[in-house]
A and B are shown apart, each in its own frame.
Chain A
Amino acid sequence: SQTIHQWPATLVQPVGSPLSLECTVEGTSNPNLYWYRQAAGRGLQLLFYSVGIGQISSEVPQNLSASRPQDRQFILSSKKLLLSDSGFYLCVLREGVTFFGQGTRLTVV
């Protein structure tokens, strides 16, 4: 069965520092992968999705970028974090059914 590994679980970073969140999946090939962010008291906002290696679609203009260097790896990055980047980041796999990673709680200070 499909499994999503997402790390780290929590992260505190200063403003202006870089970011790299990694997501890897098992038990499937060529999955559709997504990065969502949930700000405090708000719903899940779709940031990026990828339907294959090197293919990235961005839903909203922002300070973040995504990459898919391998079929089962999806990375969310930033060169310089802003306070507004704080939130709960979720890697999501969709294959008919939707699978969520455990999430990363990012606090930018």
Chain B
Amino acid sequence: QKEVEQNSGPLSVPEGAIASLNCTYSDRGSQSFFWYRQYSGKSPELIMFIYSNGDKEDGRFTAQLNKASQYVSLLIRDSQPSDSATYLCAVNPNDYKLSFGAGTTVTVRA
């Protein structure tokens, strides 16, 4: 079982719509959860982090965490063409390790 699993996509959404990305993780003791955006050929950049169950909103982005279900998601509202990228889910199973999913590719259609 992979430590962090994501649907690879591609996820295609029209401009202005909501993009919904999902991630599950295997280590129940994980405490920190991150979403990164990665443009082709570039390093990942942090979008959001979440530590507690529930929702966390930052601009057009909302992260949702459910530790009981070992599930974390990212919603992108009012999707823009500039949101087209690969989104990586990352989980801290311990103090040192940061495990990444394979990423979901999002394409926003103008």
Contact = CB atoms under 8 A, between A and B. Distances in A.
Interface of A: 32, 34, 36, 41-46, 49, 51, 57, 59, 88, 90, 92, 94, 97-98, 100-103, 105
Contacts of B101: 43
B103 A43 contact: yes
A32 to B, nearest CB: 6
Interface residues of B, number: 20
A34 B62 CA distance: 28
B96 A43 contact: no
A102 B100 contact: no
Contacts of A41: 8, 102
Contact of B96 (A45, A51, A102, A105): A51
B81 interface: no
Nearest to A39: B102
A51 B99 CA distance: 17
Contacts of B8: 41
Contacts of B43: 90, 100-103
Contacts of A97: 46
